[in-house]
Structure 1
């Protein structure tokens, strides 16, 4: 089953999307929003699956063409967004480039931070940043969405609670990260709103590509229409999604709609390219002694997508342009100042 949210209201309007991403049908008679569906999954899942089968069989009434441009993120906002770093070779590389040893515990104890979740960027919505000098970067990831999860969950129980999977662009402001981490209190300003694929899918949609709590497909990232990387998402994934879910729920229960990210997908085989600019820059630093690839500039476009074995897009594409943020309140202040300080009318 494939689910999406039309960009209507703060929490969107739930729709079912066909397997080929061509058609959709409203699901509001069953669940008005995806959050409502996750809150009541045991009650509504059967009806949603039935509607999905009707849509794919051509029997759904009032179906319409699916357009990702009309979508918000599947969950336009969430009660919790926790992002990990399951590809430890990526962490090792970044630390090596700056001459820092990686603690051995990183191989056995996942890294995790809690990100901004009160608003996500839509899958084709612009990425706004006020300053290119912040070091704007994309990070191609995969995420799971849970139902209610009890505290102290065991890894072997995780499959009962993973309801959906999505792709992620975890936008990062690399040049703000060092000073934040130096404070010893984690990310904040350096991790603005993330974005997710237009469609979230139930694990069964992945077929044989979903096993060992990993997605066995390549994650493809294009920068300005040029393939930047296509690492295999299961290869070199040190912690699978069951491990990450168990880690997050160790000391707290999780509410339905919790999103848990994998961190940047990364392979040791560098021929597969990278899913973020920082990794490519670190490879350049190690090889040449300096970086050659710039961070994102205004006007750059990023596309993140995953294809199945037949070349069909599974989640739809995150396809976004980086634009300069217009300081709305600053502009209003300037306009207000101009109105109240203009020359008096001689008439």
Structure 2
């Protein structure tokens, strides 16, 4: 199944919808409400197909993020090739801790954008970047999950783009905290929440044999594969849930796939070959089976205000 939210032009409200052959079959409530209900998603799918609240063409719909305001957003760093290449280019050794446990940071749930929303640059940045990632959406609450069964708590997967101001990120992390303002201006999700059963035929290694790509202004920048994960989503969920609860709608990002950001590409090939994002750049982010995020970069809505 493929689910999303869209803004209905009938009542100007947010509705969940099941994608069937290019058409959205809507229900009378947003997707987060479905995840928080006692009815499984396949039950809601039966209802949408039998008695849709509304029908509309997906191509013409005002698509929103599948989870526009998640309870929390954790972003891991689970692709070894990205970590090794980035650290080597910075002449830094990868900490052995990374191989002992998955690591993550919390980012801003209030900064979620949909798959067609324009992306504002962070105030004050001159080195704006994308991050090509996939994320799991939690569909069933759980705590202290076991790595072998934790994936049973996943409602589906979405494309995840962690837009990053590298200059701000570098400065603020010198004090040993963060990232913070380098990351929290925008995170794009979409285009659809795809349920795990749709992806099972592609399972390989610790992930799925599905291509991940980014093009900037029509030129391919990044290309990777979901199956390259070093830490599986089961392991990430087990670690994230240790001593706490995961809740329906929580977002668990994978971290950047190898070559999946301009930072990595510019360190290995030079900034002239892979320049940072600028206003009016068009970015296309695709993962096989999950759809695409198509967006344009815009100027920041505000300038940094001096603190002292």
Please, what TM-score do these two structures have when normalized by structure 1?
0.80
Helix, strand or coil at the partner of 1:107:
helix
Aligned to 2:196: 203
Aligned to 1:321: 296
Matched, 1:49 2:45: yes
Is the alpha carbon distance of 1:132 and 1:215 closer, same or farther for their aligned partners in structure 2, counting shifts above 3 Å? farther
1:118 counterpart (104, 110, 116)? 110
Helix, strand or coil at the partner of 1:278:
helix
Matched, 1:101 2:82: no
Aligned to 1:165: 157
Matched, 1:298 2:291: no
The separation in 1 between residues aligned to 2:241 and 2:284, in whole angstroms, is: 32
Matches within 5 A, 1:219-238: 219-235=212-228, 237-238=229-230
The separation in 2 between residues aligned to 1:164 and 1:2, in whole angstroms, is: 9
CA RMSD of aligned residues (A): 2.6
The separation in 2 between residues aligned to 1:209 and 1:10, in whole angstroms, is: 38
User: Which stretch of the first structure deviates more once superposed, 77-86 or 219-228?
Assistant: 219-228
The separation in 1 between residues aligned to 2:129 and 2:63, in whole angstroms, is: 23
Aligned to 1:15: 17
Counting strand residues as a fraction of each chain, which structure ranks higher? 2
Is the alpha carbon distance of 1:252 and 1:280 closer, same or farther for their aligned partners in structure 2, counting shifts above 3 Å? same
Aligned to 1:280: 265
Aligned to 2:4: 4
The separation in 2 between residues aligned to 1:188 and 1:10, in whole angstroms, is: 33
Deviations 1:248-284 (A, max 9, x none): 0112111111110001111xxxxxxx22111101212
Contact preservation (8 Å) 1:5, 1:15: yes
Please, what TM-score do these two structures have when normalized by structure 2?
0.89
Where structure 2 has 5 or more consecutive residues not aligned to the other structure, the ranges are none
Is the alpha carbon distance of 1:223 and 1:183 closer, same or farther for their aligned partners in structure 2, counting shifts above 3 Å? same
The separation in 1 between residues aligned to 2:45 and 2:301, in whole angstroms, is: 43
The separation in 2 between residues aligned to 1:49 and 1:190, in whole angstroms, is: 39
Matches within 5 A, 1:9-158: 12-18=14-20, 20=21, 22-28=22-28, 32-40=29-37, 42-51=38-47, 54=49, 62-67=54-59, 70-129=62-121, 133-158=125-150
- 1:325 is displaced (CA, Å) by 2.4
The separation in 1 between residues aligned to 2:32 and 2:209, in whole angstroms, is: 27
Counting helix residues as a fraction of each chain, which structure ranks higher? 1
Is the alpha carbon distance of 1:11 and 1:327 closer, same or farther for their aligned partners in structure 2, counting shifts above 3 Å? farther
The separation in 2 between residues aligned to 1:46 and 1:297, in whole angstroms, is: 42
Matched, 1:257 2:257: no
